[in-house]
Homo-oligomer: A and B are copies of this chain.
Amino acid sequence: MQNRIIIIDDNQLIRESLRMILQSAGKYVIVSTYSNCEDAIANLERDAPDIVLIDIQLPGISGIEGTTLIRKKLPNCIILIITVSEDSSQVFKSLSAGASGYIIKTASLDTIKKSIEEALAGGAPMSLSISKMVVESFQKQNDSPLSDRESQVLQYISEGKSYSKIADELFISKETVKTHIKNIYRKLEVVSKEDAIRVANKNKWVQNTH
């Protein structure tokens, strides 16, 4: 059976190029192409796509919001972002929104076809630089101004643990925890738990609990 694909991109040239490339492969049916999310979403049920290729910069609803909306309607649909830039915040936002992979607009025709096949095979197609970015998001940074013990305490704080709980788990007194936290706040120049967590996350000084 042929896979149903829809393409959402405000650039007609790109829409038509993608259509050509994919149709020539013979494995796909390009059921529709759209220049904006609104139209695409209105026809989602009728189109019933297996794969959506969506641009990130779109007039009106953005590609990221669009990804969220499409996944809400069709949870099993594979969404691949077509993009020119490799901006990290955009990448993370679209992955969080439910995109499965990234296709760089300047990629070769072969690479694009391969990306779609990888997605269908259950993979997560993306360029080397993007996968590197994603992997780095897992890695704790070593440039924290905090001591080992302070980092540890902050890690626990970021997990929502109370002072008493931290004290128990580290076999130290609650007062010691308080002292560490005072020093953490001083070093990070913050005055609250929330800000400390925000700064730590921003700088990847704590590990996300995946």
Seen from chain A, the residues whose Cβ lies within 8 Å of a Cβ on chain B are: 71-72, 75, 92, 95-96, 98, 100-101, 118, 121-124, 126, 128-129, 131-132, 134-140, 142, 157-162, 165, 193-194, 196-198, 201, 207-210
A157 to B139, CA, bound (A): 24
Residues in B with CB closer than 8 Å to A128 are 118, 121-124
Docked Cα-Cα span, A98 to B204, in Å, equals 12
Across the interface, do A159 and B194 meet the contact criterion of CB distance under 8 Å?
yes
In the assembled complex, 29 residue pairs joining A and B whose CB atoms fall closer than 8 Å, in A order, are: A71-B142, A72-B142, A92-B138, A92-B210, A95-B135, A95-B138, A96-B138, A96-B139, A96-B140, A96-B210, A98-B139, A100-B132, A118-B128, A123-B129, A123-B131, A124-B131, A124-B135, A126-B135, A131-B131, A134-B135, A134-B138, A137-B210, A157-B160, A159-B198, A160-B194, A160-B197, A161-B194, A165-B194, A198-B209
